[in-house]
Every structure is written in C-alpha cells, then in structure tokens.
C-alpha cells in the first residue's frame, strides 16, 4: 500500500495564518479582560476588608446573620 504525497502530517499546503489585525484584536480583548478581572478582584477584596473591620461606609445597611 502506498501513501500519496502531501496527504498527512505537515507535508500538505500551509494553513492560512491569521492577519495581524485579528491577532491585535485578540490581544486587546485579552488585555481588557485581564484588567477587568483585576478590577473585580480588587473591589471584592476591598469589600471583604470593610466587612471584617466593621466599616461598611456611608449609606450601607448592615444585615446581621440569622440566629440558629
């Protein structure tokens, strides 16, 4: 049984490469996502710190946990 040349592996035609504009758009969206995640983590950490120190800030209603 013989194998046709160029039908398997990396011997065929090269696959089209994404354009630099598409690559830049993907990189920009990943950077924005990373910054948004950092912002969420920072705000969550600040909220948890305020909760532990008892300073909920002005206009915040504090709810006490229900008694068992």
Residue with tokens 């006490």: 64
The predicted-structure confidence for 4-60, as pLDDT tens digits, reads as follows: 555 566 666 666 677 889 999 999 999 999 999 999 998 888 887 776 655 555 656
Q: Is the dihedral of CA 35, 40, 42, 43 positive or negative?
A: positive
Q: How far, in Å, CA of 68 to CA of 63, rounded? A: 15
List pLDDT tens digits, range 43-53.
Answer: 888 887 776 65
Task: Give the Cα-Cα-Cα angle 65, 66, 68 (nearest 5 degrees).
Answer: 125
Task: Return the pLDDT at 33.
Answer: 96
Give the separation between CA 37 and CA 29, rounded to whole angstroms: 12
Nearest-5° Cα angle at 38, 64 to 40: 30
């Amino acid at each position: 049984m013989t194998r046709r040349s160029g039908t398997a592996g990396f011997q065929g035609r090269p696959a089209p490469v994404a354009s630099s504009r598409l690559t830049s758009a993907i990189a920009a969206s990943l950077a924005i996502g990373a910054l948004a995640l950092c912002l969420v983590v920072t705000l969550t950490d600040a909220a948890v710190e305020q909760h532990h120190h008892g300073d909920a800030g002005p206009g915040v209603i504090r709810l006490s946990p229900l008694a068992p």
